[in-house]
Chains A and B, each alone.
Chain A
Amino acid sequence: MSRIDLGREHQLAHAFVRLADTLVSGFDLVELFDDLIRTLVEIFDLSAAGLMMMDNAGKLRLVASSSERSRLVELLELQADQGPCLDAFGSGALVAVEGDHEQAQRWPALSRLLREAELGAAYGLPMRLREDTIGAVNLFHRPGETVATGDLVTAQALADVATIATLQARASRASVQLAEQLQAALNSRVTIEQAKGVLAERGKVDMQAAFDRLRGFARSHNLRLTEVAEAVAKGRLDAAEVLTG
């Protein structure tokens, strides 16, 4: 890495500014959430993270994950039914379940998957602003390690900024309702999965590489991730072009 290590405080400051920037600029919710998840994993040196959002039927759905490994994705998807995300979403409060035994008692199916995926302590951070809870963030550490209380507070603050950005977007465009935005973000996630499939098959790469190419292409061409994904899924943008950058 040629980049100078700025230290964690600098990284954090940058992350806050970047998230706050989405308050004023137009943004894609899926990209905002993806950015938040990556930032959390990097800054707190976590094993994995994910973000789940409520759909219109009130059920949690996966919108962003730190890795596209199918094992992690499945584990996150299970949290619609049990786990720290669901508990944090339901209570509106931070949930920390660090020990194997406690995990097994609270969430039997999830704790099995956690061990298989070699994940340890699990945390749920609500995405909540006053009376609105829109989803929850999931953090996982390596077995035997835990996240310090101070770090959890900071992580929650980052999640709060992302939540405010999401709700702010509603206030600034009166005609666009929160439900509409969340719905768009969920559909956008489906489009991204479809596009990943096209790229993975055409380029004979795995889902992680497919997502990275998609994201890289959107960034380098200054396009929204959702736009690029839709063009790829519909065949309006040649997969080969995205695969080669």
Chain B
Amino acid sequence: MSEQRSPGTELSSVLRALCDGTPASIGVTGAAVTVGEPSGIVELLFATDAVAEGLADVESATGRGPGSRALESGSPVLVPDVVAAADPKQERRDDDADAFAPALWEQAERLGVGAVFAFPLQLGALRLGVLHLYRTERGELDDAGFRQSVILADRLTHALLGVWGTEPAESTEPDPSALSRAAVHQATGMLVAQLGVGIDEAFARMRTHAFAEGRPLTEVADDIVARRLRIADSDGET
């Protein structure tokens, strides 16, 4: 995460609004949102209930669980049966569960959790955090639930990147559709090379620049790709 987007109360309320109604629409019991790398500091931004929070806490402490795996691989990690996954005698098709910390399964069983699902909050190679979902009953996430989860993960990603929902009302309209433009991602990559920073920082610099100039992100990105604009090391200056 970049300095200027450090999650505050405003962001928390946006996340709360986004996750409101999630359990019903996805078909799960609760949800939590964490940011940060599995190897580094993981911060819990939001949880719908104490069980979701408890699960996220155990995973943060051990650094080994579905969320960490989702963030590393960039793919959702679905554990439809926690009890079976925790049983060392159980035959498994993949080795995912083996890599998870036993403490996580103990906690999950103790809390009466049947299934857990983790979705990465990501934009290409940029990985921000994880959407954790749990359900008291065992079973797969159905197709509609899966799609809703991915849509929610996208919205959370947009909120964390500051292109959706966290802007003051009078500013340039937040525009998540900008993220479907190739030029925005090409420009991010160019800034990675120009500034020698990580991909998250590069995106944040471009967004900050657009915000400071009151211009749409896509316009700034087009200028960077056309090499008409260079964002210098000092924040937001050309």
Contact = CB atoms under 8 A, between A and B. Distances in A.
A183 interface: yes
Nearest to B76: A180
Given A202-B193, A233-B199, A234-B199, A190 B124 contact: yes
B108 interface: no
Contact of A194 (B75, B124, B147): B124
B188 to A, nearest CB: 5
Interface in B155-201: 179-194, 198-199
Nearest to A190: B124
Interface size class of B (residues with CB under 8 A): 35 or more
Given A56-B147, A56-B151, A175-B78, A195 B188 contact: no
A201 B150 contact: no
Contact of A77 (B126, B181, B186): B181
A235 B198 contact: yes
Interface of B: 74-76, 78, 93-94, 122-126, 143, 146-147, 150-151, 154, 179-194, 198-199, 222, 225-226
B124 A233 contact: yes
A155 interface: no
B143 A179 contact: yes
| Residues of B contacting A: mostly | helix
B189 A194 contact: yes
Interface in A110-160: none
B193 A194 contact: no
B180 A197 contact: no
A90 B125 CA distance: 31
A177 B143 contact: yes
B152 to A, nearest CB: 10
B146 A194 contact: no
Contacts of A57: 151, 154
18 contacts: A56-B150, A62-B180, A70-B226, A77-B181, A175-B94, A177-B143, A177-B146, A180-B76, A184-B75, A191-B124, A193-B189, A194-B189, A197-B185, A198-B193, A200-B189, A201-B193, A234-B125, A239-B193
